[in-house]
Structure 1
Amino acid sequence: MSPNSVRLRPIVHATPTATGLHVRGWRSSFTLDGGKGLWTIWERLAGPLAEGVPPEQLAVPDNAPPAVARALELLIGQLREHDMLVEVPGEWGEDAPPAEIASWLESVAPSPLEAWRRLRSVTVVVTGDGALAAHAHRALVAAGLAVAPVRPGPGLLVAGGGAAVAAGCAADVGFAVAPGAVAEVEADAAAVARRLAGAPGTPPEVLAALVGSAAAHRLVCAVGGLPDPATEVVDMWSDVPPTGPPHQPVLVARLDPLHAEYHPWLSEVRPREPNGTLLEVLGNRELGPVPTPLPGDLPQLPVKLAAAGDVVGFGTTEHAARLDALLRAARALAPDDVVLGADRVHALGSALRTAVRHLAGTPVTEDEWAADPTARRWWKAVALRFALPASAEVTRLGPGVVRAVVRADGEELSWAVEASPADAVAFAAMAAAGRAQAGVADTVVLCGAAPFAEPDGAAAPWTNRDWHWPYGLRDGEEAFQDDLRALGADVKSVPLGPVLEAAGLVAFAVAEGGR
Structure 2
Amino acid sequence: MSGVLVRLRPIVHATPTPTGLHVRGWRSSFTLDGGKGLWTIWERLAGPLADGVPPGRLVVPEHAPPAVARALELLIGQLHEHDMLVEVPAEWGGDAPPEDIASWLESVAPAPVETWRRLRSATVTVTGEGVLAAYARRALVAAGLEVAAVRSGPGVVLVAGTHAVAAGCATDVGFVVAPGPLSDVEADAAAVARRLAGAPGTAPEVLAALVGSAAAHRLVCAVGGLPDPSTEVVDMWSDVPPTGPPHQAVLVARLDPLHAEYHPWLSAVRPREPNGALLDVLGDRELGPVPTPLPGDLPQLPVKLAASGDVVGFGTTEHAARLDALLRAAGELAPAGALVGADRVHALGLALRTAVRRLPGTPVAEVEWAADPTARRWWKAVALRFALPASVEVTRLGPGVTRAVVRADGEELSWAVEAEPADAVAFAAMAAAGRAQAGVGGTGVRGTVVLCGAAPFAEPDGAAAPWTNRDWHWPHGLRDGEEAFQEDLRALAGEVKPVDLGPVLEAAGLVAFAEDGR
CA-to-partner distance for each residue in 1:161-197, whole Å, 9 max, x for gaps? Answer: 3101000000111001000111111111111111111
Asked whether the equivalents of residues 2 and 55 of structure 1 are also in contact (C-alpha less than 8 Å), the reply is no
CA-to-partner distance for each residue in 1:424-454, whole Å, 9 max, x for gaps? Answer: 1111110010011011432110001111111
1:448 aligns with 2:439: no
- The match for 2:395 is 395
Asked whether the equivalents of residues 382 and 432 of structure 2 are also in contact (C-alpha less than 8 Å), the reply is yes
Q: After superposition, where does 1:278-317 map in structure 2 within 5 Å?
A: 278-317=278-317
CA-to-partner distance for each residue in 1:69-103, whole Å, 9 max, x for gaps? Answer: 22222222221221111111223232110111010
Report the Cα distance in structure 2 between the residues aligned to 1:232 and 1:510, rounded to whole angstroms.
43
CA-to-partner distance for each residue in 1:81-132, whole Å, 9 max, x for gaps? Answer: 2111111122323211011101000000111011001111111111100000
Amino acid at match of 1:478: E
Residues 459 and 161 of structure 1: is their aligned pair in 2 closer, same or farther, counting only changes over 3 Å?
Answer: farther
Asked whether the equivalents of residues 375 and 425 of structure 2 are also in contact (C-alpha less than 8 Å), the reply is yes
- The match for 1:330 is 330
SS in 2 for 1:144: coil
- The match for 2:31 is 31
Report the Cα distance in structure 1 between the residues aligned to 2:61 and 2:370, rounded to whole angstroms.
75
SS in 2 for 1:113: helix
Amino acid at match of 2:427: F
Report the Cα distance in structure 1 between the residues aligned to 2:186 and 2:300, rounded to whole angstroms.
44
Identity of aligned residues (%): 85
- The match for 1:204 is 204
Compute the displacement of 1:349 (Å).
0.9
Pairwise CA RMSD: 1.3
- The match for 1:168 is 168
Match of 1:490 among 465, 481, 495: 495
Compute the displacement of 1:19 (Å).
1.1
Report the Cα distance in structure 1 between the residues aligned to 2:276 and 2:338, rounded to whole angstroms.
24
- The match for 2:155 is 155
What is the TM-score when the length of structure 1 is the normalising length? 0.97
Report the Cα distance in structure 1 between the residues aligned to 2:233 and 2:375, rounded to whole angstroms.
45
Report the Cα distance in structure 2 between the residues aligned to 1:13 and 1:51, rounded to whole angstroms.
14
1:507 aligns with 2:493: no
1:99 aligns with 2:104: no
- The match for 1:426 is 426
Compute the displacement of 1:408 (Å).
1.3
Unaligned stretches of 5+ residues in structure 1: none
Q: Which moved more, 1:267-276 or 1:176-185?
A: 267-276
Report the Cα distance in structure 2 between the residues aligned to 1:463 and 1:14, rounded to whole angstroms.
48
Residues 249 and 357 of structure 1: is their aligned pair in 2 closer, same or farther, counting only changes over 3 Å?
Answer: same
Amino acid at match of 2:437: Q
Report the Cα distance in structure 2 between the residues aligned to 1:261 and 1:404, rounded to whole angstroms.
47
Compute the displacement of 1:342 (Å).
0.6
Report the Cα distance in structure 2 between the residues aligned to 1:412 and 1:186, rounded to whole angstroms.
49
1:356 aligns with 2:356: yes
Report the Cα distance in structure 2 between the residues aligned to 1:438 and 1:351, rounded to whole angstroms.
26
Asked whether the equivalents of residues 305 and 322 of structure 1 are also in contact (C-alpha less than 8 Å), the reply is yes
Report the Cα distance in structure 2 between the residues aligned to 1:109 and 1:412, rounded to whole angstroms.
63
Report the Cα distance in structure 2 between the residues aligned to 1:221 and 1:184, rounded to whole angstroms.
18
Amino acid at match of 1:204: P
1:44 aligns with 2:50: no
Asked whether the equivalents of residues 231 and 243 of structure 1 are also in contact (C-alpha less than 8 Å), the reply is yes
Report the Cα distance in structure 2 between the residues aligned to 1:104 and 1:50, rounded to whole angstroms.
14
Report the Cα distance in structure 2 between the residues aligned to 1:29 and 1:423, rounded to whole angstroms.
49
SS in 2 for 1:22: strand
Residues 211 and 276 of structure 1: is their aligned pair in 2 closer, same or farther, counting only changes over 3 Å?
Answer: farther
Amino acid at match of 1:240: V
Q: After superposition, where does 1:71-110 map in structure 2 within 5 Å?
A: 71-110=71-110
Asked whether the equivalents of residues 458 and 468 of structure 1 are also in contact (C-alpha less than 8 Å), the reply is no
Compute the displacement of 1:304 (Å).
0.4
Residues 440 and 244 of structure 1: is their aligned pair in 2 closer, same or farther, counting only changes over 3 Å?
Answer: farther
Amino acid at match of 1:430: M
- The match for 2:407 is 407
Amino acid at match of 2:365: T
Report the Cα distance in structure 1 between the residues aligned to 2:175 and 2:482, rounded to whole angstroms.
43
- The match for 1:469 is 474
1:111 aligns with 2:111: yes
Q: After superposition, where does 1:55-74 map in structure 2 within 5 Å?
A: 55-74=55-74
Amino acid at match of 1:154: P
Asked whether the equivalents of residues 457 and 463 of structure 1 are also in contact (C-alpha less than 8 Å), the reply is no
Q: Which moved more, 1:259-268 or 1:67-76?
A: 67-76
- The match for 2:139 is 139
SS in 1 for 2:513: strand
Aligned length: 513
Report the Cα distance in structure 1 between the residues aligned to 2:169 and 2:139, rounded to whole angstroms.
17
SS in 1 for 2:248: coil
1:380 aligns with 2:380: yes
Amino acid at match of 1:470: P
